[in-house]
Amino acid sequence: METSDKIYVAGHNGMVGSAIVRKLESLGFTNILKRSSKELDLRVQEDVFSFMDTEKPDYIFLAAAKVGGIVANNTYRADFIYENIQIQNNVIHAAYKCGIKKLMFLGSSCIYPKMAPQPLKEEYLLTGLLEETNEPYAIAKISGIKMCEAYRDQYGCDFISVMPTNLYGPNDNYDLQNSHVLPAMIRKFHEAKLAGDAQVELWGTGSPMREFLHADDLAEACVFLMENYSDKQFVNIGTGVDVTIKELAETIKKEVGYEGEIYWNTDKPDGTPRKLMDVSKINGLGWKHKLDLSEGIKLVYAEYKEKHK
Detail the residues annotated as belonging to a binding site for substrate.
188, 203, 210, 270
Give yes or no for a contact between 277 and 231, defined as CB atoms under 8 angstroms apart: no
Separation of alpha carbons 152 and 156, rounded Å: 4
Binding-site positions for NADP(+): 11-17, 106-109, 141, 164-167, 180
Separation of alpha carbons 244 and 121, rounded Å: 20
Q: CB-hemisphere CA count at 13 Å for 124?
A: 22
Binding-site positions: 11-17, 106-109, 141, 164-167, 180, 188, 203, 210, 270
CA-to-CA dists, residue 172 to 48, 105, 179, 214, 215, angstroms: 26, 20, 8, 11, 9
Q: Which of 137, 151, 174, 229 is catalytic?
A: 137
Q: Is 124 a catalytic residue?
A: no
Separation of alpha carbons 194 and 7, rounded Å: 43
Following CA atoms 181, 223, 226, 10 in sequence, which dihedral angle do they give, to the nearest 10 degrees?
60
Q: What is the per-residue burial (b if ≥16 Cβ within 10 Å, else e) of 43-60?
A: beeebbbebbeeeebbbb
Alpha helical stretches, state H, the chain? 15-26, 45-55, 70-75, 77-98, 135-155, 181-195, 215-228, 245-256, 280-285, 293-307
Q: CB-hemisphere CA count at 13 Å for 227?
A: 15
Positions marked active-site: 137
